[in-house]
Structure 1
Amino acid sequence: MFRKSLIYAFTLLIPGVLSAQNSVPELSFPEPLTLKETIQIGLENNRNYQKALMDEDKAKYQRNEIRGAGLPQISAYGDYNNFIDVYPQAIPGGGFFGGSPEDINVIAFGVPQTLKAGFQLNQLIYSNSYLIGLKAAKTGEEFYRLLAEQSEEDVIHEISMSYLGVLQLELQRENLLATIGELEGLEKILQAQYENDLARKVDLNRVKVNLTSVKAELENLDIAIFQSEGYLKLVMGIPVDTEIALDSKITDMNHMVNEFQIAELDVNNRKDLQVLGVQEKLYEYEYKNIKAEHMPQLVGFADFNKSAFSQEFDFVNTNHAWYQGFLVGLKLEIPIFNGGQTKYKAAQSKVTAQQLQLDKLQATDAAELEYQNALKKYYNSLSTLRSLESNLTLANDVLSETELLYKESLSPLTDLLAAEASERQAQANYNNQIIQVRLAQLEILKSTGTIKNLIQ
């Protein structure tokens, strides 16, 4: 009856389990997503960053594992022996066993059946290698913590670059759409003028060719936007079919450009240099641990057991005699000579430490170069932005004057459309350059190790 009820209950649960497996929760995010919100989502879902955090947890467990080697080690054991032939022992003749001293008496000591069970205790009392290992384990925790922070900075940088890259493509798309609208309007005007013999066929065809080219460019740009958004979602750690909308307000970016403060380079703030510094400590502990192989090690131990002996296997008999044994002791191990292995292992460790010093010098020079390149890119892009800002102001003035002339019938429609196109292009160039400045700012933040300021 119970078995039937269990099968019935399991049958009722199957549809719910299957539906739970097939249903994927839909993610919803605020619209539009700001850069800070996008970064926060990425830090919560990025797989590489999550793995780095897990490595940090694993380092804590490894430290506890090493610490556990210095705690009492207790184990239980059992030992059963069935001697088909009891091992013989040879003793000289004479005395209690009789015979002459020249004779050899072979006697079987022991019984065929033995059973032994007990507990063993081992306690490390002194080991210089163990003490060094504890310090190295603590430094290893710091090492993985820095790697996690470095991974966090990498995620912030990659998401920021991808975010601004998508915005840049979106602004280009808006410009193309405006150009298409302008060309379509111009095509209608020229078509009407051509039908009334007021325009040439070649002018109409030229507009049609330009319109077709711009539409083809728009299709390619849509593909690039799709790919860029997909990569951004991948870095954010969300499904690629998730709908997101990015905040493309240039006014906010203008504020970020104007309020940006250039940080001075301090290589000690860079996580890659900090990681190399911790690695240097780990190599020091490695060298000390190798040298500690020459140091003595002291271990205490104890063994409590009970044994039974019999001619036949009858240990289940409650009246069987059990004999108790108990011992305690110390074991001192002093290494003397191992063929020079320790010497050469220490030499290898020294060479590795020297290589690390070269890596630190290389990383320091690379950090300085990265910072100088970021500064150069920032100042150049900022200078270009000021020029494009002046150009945008000029284009707005030209458009205003052309509109006034057109209203007074002193300028043809084509001049007005051309002025509008120039103003849109100037605005597009300005918007695009703002993003270039923001990208340069990101490089400065990354090179100075302060990119986390984006989420503060």
Structure 2
Amino acid sequence: MNKLPAAVSISLFFSLMNKTLQRPRRWLGAALLGLAPLALPAQTPQGAPPVLGTGGTMALSLPQAIRYAVQTKSSLLATRLAEQTAVARVGEIKAQGLPQVNVAANLADNFKLQKSLVDFSAFGGPPLNGTTLTQRDIAAAQSGQAVTLSPAYGVAPATGPTPLAFGLQYAGNTAASFSQQLFDGSYLIGLKAAKVYQELSKKQTQQAEIDVVEQVSKAYYSTLVARSRLALLARNVQRLDTVLYQTNQTFKAGFAEKLDVDRLRVQRNNLVVEQQKAQRLTELSIALLKFQMGLPQAQPVVLTDSLNAAIVDAGALRQRLGAANFGTGSGPGGLGALPAPPAGAAPGAPAPAPGLNNGQPVQTDAAFNYNNRIEFSTLQTQQALAGLDLRNRTAGAYPRLSLTAAYGFTGSAKSVTDLFAFRGPSSRATNGFPNQNWFGFGNVGLALTVPVFDGFRRHYQVQQARIAQQTIERGFETLRQSIDLQDAQSRTTLINALDVLDNQQDNLTLAADVARVTRIKFNAGVGSNIEVFTAETSLREAQTNYYAAIYDVLVAKVDRDKATGELYQQAK
């Protein structure tokens, strides 16, 4: 199931988009076996997490450990940062439809002006060739009369194009531009895709939170089991010390052999080594719990929950589980039959090709447990994005219309000082002539872009988007089959774990009775030391198997809740 990446513009957004007993008398002391779900933290956890102590010990229940992990684990924080990035990118997409205003200014030193060739003879008309002065004009002028001289025209010499430089050495301009998108089909679809993409990022965060809940729960229960087994080993050592002391006293009184004492000492030494190993494993379990929580290893913690924090009826749990069924899935009454082929379809005929999605989440015919799985919901969101991508590719053929406007000033001068004089239309030189050096300009208009032919590029983009959408739609069947398998597998694993736990509980009860009777016989002088040694060994083995069975049940219940989506509902 491919995760769809984000985009920084509408086109890039879509181009990148295509790139998780029946024995009512038996009671199990495990919180996770409860018929009521555990109190797990909210998706946006309420209340503050446990505060790191300044050298003090942090008391942690399972809900507190989960809440702390959901709020502070670095991997989840990184996922939430990605979610915030998605929100920011959604805002970036929306901003493209808002008015765009830009202000620009520049100053240029045209140290070498560009010249253009101009043919003045092409302007037409006889060229001016001076004036004609007659004797009459001279006499009139000498007598004080006003004389008007008439220009004389002649044939101008033929000249070629003349190079002419336009403008002055220093020039500058400043302008403010405005544009407003009036219609763009891709933008409208991009707004819908932005919301769907934000929803996808939230679901990915939810998936990460579910994984953290699972990891912390398993680590917490592992620590509880290790701690309980360590306490049991301490009691076994204490009890064996008592037996060893009594046997040694009996040996000193001459009623027991030294071999009996030596056997008990060997047994005690082995038990002490086992206790030391269990102590180190308990410390390792706590270190793993801290890691899953994102808690510093130097922070001391104490677990406030115990294996018998909640007492539940295993028989009722068995009835709720029922039997694994690969055809109907989970739930008390099953999920019902899988969707049937369309009416009129020939037996064995291939399924029709998935229809094209228009960007709306699919309302599947799946039972509720499918929709409980965050993976299924995420795939629905991906399908919606794929449908919007297809619509966006198609909308690329629509015209685009924008409103544009600009207003500014441009000026030029022979020197920088003169350029920054900013003389307007009311400025006059000493001789009274206008000497304006800055001039205003403005425009407003509509820009229409009509795609005509792009070399079939859009055709192939639409084809790729359609194939990507159909690929996601094909993934629904694979995901359903996977969920069905996980459902049946988790149910079978949990039922087997319960059976093993029942058996180990019986074995533990029998082994404890045998060890008790054997010690009584040995103290009464009618039993042998070998019998005591064998019974104690069998008891320790039964205890180890019992706690291992408890842990298997706890883990199987977590996996079961995750497979049915209940772990997400609890975290929600």
If the length of structure 1 is used for normalisation, what is the TM-score?
Answer: 0.83
Counterparts in 2 of 1:203 and 1:396: CA distance versus 1, 3 Å: closer
By how many angstroms is 1:439 displaced? 2.0
| Aligned with 1:433 (options 549, 561, 565) | 549
The aligned counterpart of 2:74 is 47
Which of 426, 440, 444 in structure 2 is aligned with 1:328?
A: 444
CA contact (8 A) 1:70 1:130 kept: yes
Cα pair distance change 1:224/1:454, threshold 3 Å: farther
CA distance in 1, matches of 2:396, 2:76: 38
Q: Residue in 1 aligned with 2:47?
A: none
In the other structure, the counterpart of 1:75 is 102
The alpha carbon displacement at 1:145 in A equals 1.0
Q: Which moved more, 1:179-188 or 1:437-446?
A: 179-188
Aligned to 2:290: 233
Residue in 2 that maps onto 1:215: 272
* Alignment match, 2:370: 267
Shift of 1:429: 4.6
Aligned to 1:364: 480
Q: State the superposition RMSD in angstroms.
A: 3.2
The answer on whether the counterparts of 2:53 and 2:299 sit within 8 Å (CA) in structure 1 is no
Match of 1:94 among 99, 117, 122: 122
After superposition, the Cα gap between the structure-2 partners of 1:53 and 1:101, relative to the gap in structure 1 and judged at 3 Å, is: farther
Given the alignment, which residue of 372, 389, 392 partners 1:289? 392
Q: Distance in 1 between matches of 2:157 and 2:451?
A: 47
Deviation, 1:69, is 0.5
* 1:350 alignment partner, one of 445, 448, 466: 466
Separation (CA, whole Å) in 2 of partners of 1:250 and 1:433 = 13
One-letter amino acid of the counterpart of residue 83, structure 2 = E
Q: Cα distance, 1:427 vs. partner? A: 5.9
Structure 2 unmatched ranges of 5 or more: 1-51, 128-155, 322-329, 336-368, 425-435
**Does structure 1 conserve the Cα–Cα contact (< 8 Å) formed by 2:263 and 2:533?**
no
CA change 1:81–1:453 in 2 (3 A) is: closer
| 2:428 matched residue in structure 1 | none
Find 1:108's aligned residue among 158, 161, 165: 165
Structure 1 range deviating more: 274-283 or 83-92? 83-92
* Alignment-derived partner of residue 304 in structure 1: 407
Counterpart for residue 279 of structure 1: 382
Distance in 1 of aligned mates of 2:515 and 2:167: 115
Inter-partner Cα distance in structure 2 for 1:180 and 1:394: 20
One-letter amino acid of the counterpart of residue 484, structure 2: E
Contact between 1:94 and 1:100, CA under 8 Å: does it hold in 2?
no
Alpha-carbon distance in 1 for matches of 2:560, 2:159 = 96
User: Contact (CA 8 Å) 1:402, 1:411: kept in 2 or not?
Assistant: no
**Could you tell me which residue of structure 1 aligns to residue 498 of structure 2?**
382
Name the SS of the counterpart of 1:223 in structure 2: helix
* Bigger mean CA offset, 341-350 vs 41-50: 341-350
Query: Whole-Å Cα distance in 2 between the matches of residues 96 and 192 of structure 1?
Result: 142
Q: Measured at CA, do residues 193 and 51 of structure 1 come closer, stay the same or move farther in structure 2, by a change above 3 Å?
A: same
Which amino acid is the alignment partner of residue 323 of structure 1?
F
How far is the alpha carbon of 1:396 from its aligned partner?
6.1
| TM-superposed deviation, 1:194 | 4.0
Cα–Cα, structure 1 residues 453 and 233, in superposed 2: closer, same or farther, change >3 Å?
same
Are residues 1:63 and 2:90 paired? yes
Matched-pair contact (CA < 8 Å) for 1:371–1:444:
yes
Q: CA deviation at 1:163?
A: 0.8
Q: Percent identity?
A: 23
The one-letter amino acid of 1:332's match is: L
- Alpha-carbon spacing, 1:257–1:141, altered in 2? closer, same or farther (3 Å): farther
Deviation at 1:438, TM superposition (A): 2.4
Residue 58 of structure 1 aligns to a residue whose secondary structure is helix
Match of 2:111 in 1: 84
What is the CA-CA distance between 1:95 and the residue it aligns to?
1.7
Match of 2:234 in 1: 177
* Residues paired across the two proteins, number: 431
Distance in 2, matches of 1:58 and 1:259, equals: 46
Contact 2:103–2:177 (CA under 8 A) maintained in structure 1: yes
Q: CA deviation at 1:428?
A: 5.9
Counterparts in 2 of 1:174 and 1:268: CA distance versus 1, 3 Å: same
Secondary structure of 2:419's aligned partner: coil
* Equivalent residue number for residue 21 of structure 1: none
1:192-207 equivalences under 5 Å are 192-207=249-264
CA gap of 1:325–1:72, structure 2 versus 1, over 3 A, is same
| Shift of residue 315, structure 1, vs aligned partner | 2.5
- Work out the CA distance in 1 between the residues paired with 2:558 and 2:520: 43
State whether residues 224 and 306 of structure 2, in contact with CA within 8 Å, keep that contact through their aligned partners in structure 1: no
- Of stretches 331-340 and 440-449 in structure 1, the one that deviates more from structure 2 is 331-340
In the alignment, the residues of structure 1 paired with residue 475 and residue 158 of structure 2 have an alpha-carbon distance, to the nearest angstrom, of: 77
416-425 or 313-322, larger mean C-alpha shift: 416-425
Measured at CA, do residues 329 and 41 of structure 1 come closer, stay the same or move farther in structure 2, by a change above 3 Å?
same
Structure 2 CA distance, aligned partners of 1:101 and 1:448?
A: 98
Where structure 1 has 5 or more consecutive residues not aligned to the other structure, the ranges are 1-23
Which string of whole-angstrom CA distances, capped at 9 and with x for unpartnered residues, describes residues 285-325 of structure 1? Answer: 22222232222212221110012221222223254632110
In structure 2, the CA distance between the partners of 1:283 and 1:356, relative to structure 1 (3 Å rule), is: same
- Cα distance in 1 between the residues matched to 2:53 and 2:99: 49
TM-score by length of 2: 0.67
Instruction: Name the counterpart of 1:10.
Output: none
Separation in structure 2 between the aligned mates of residue 29 and residue 346 of structure 1, nearest angstrom: 60
In the superposition, relative to structure 1, how do residues 26 and 413 fare at CA in structure 2: closer, same or farther (>3 Å)? Answer: farther
Q: Which amino acid aligns with 1:290?
A: R
Aligned residue type for 2:392: N
